[in-house]
Amino acid sequence: MFQSKKALKNSLQKCTLIQALEPLLYDAPSNILKHVVCQFSKVLPHDSKARRLFVTSGGMKKVQEIDKEPGSALQEHINTINNCFPEEIVRYYSPGYSEILLQRLEVNQEEESLHIPPSPQPEGQ
């Protein structure tokens, strides 16, 4: 078991192809997932095409959904990944962001309904 885990870890550390790593985000158990995320954190800062593919293929969304302990190595790897992208992209793919946008929409609609337009001025004044 130890040798197979070490072999898998070594294979992951050599993999720089995002398309090969990404399926593991969805299927790997947590003890393997941390190594997958670690490899993404090494590849993405240096490859703009990989970053674009990572976002468009759903990898960014999946990484934001991963349960992580604050201060853990996994959290640090995710922070490294997030630092490769503009803050707006990270927020957009974070869980709960759509609810925040909907709340803003409701607030804007309420403010618009409370807005009383100025009364028209009579002509000649």
At 8-50, the pLDDT tens digits run 888 888 888 989 999 999 999 988 999 999 999 999 999 999 9
What span, in angstroms and rounded, lies between the C-alpha atoms of 125 and 122? 6
| Position 118 confidence tier, pLDDT thresholds 50, 70, 90 | low
Per-chain mean pLDDT for the chain: 88
Asked if pLDDT for residue 75 goes beyond 80, the answer is yes
User: Out of 8-12, 37-41, 73-77, 114-118, which region has the weakest mean confidence (pLDDT)?
Assistant: 114-118
3-state secondary structure 55-86: HHCCHHHHHHHCCCCCCCHHHHHHHHHHCCCC
Give the torsion sign (CA, 56, 33, 23, 51): positive
pLDDT digits (tens, 9 = 90+) for 101-112: 888 888 777 777
**CA distances (Å), 82 to each of 20, 22, 71, 85, 108, in order?**
20, 16, 15, 6, 30
pLDDT of residue 82: 98
Q: How many residues does the chain have?
A: 125
Q: Domain coordinates of the chain in residue numbers?
A: 2-107
pLDDT of residue 8: 84
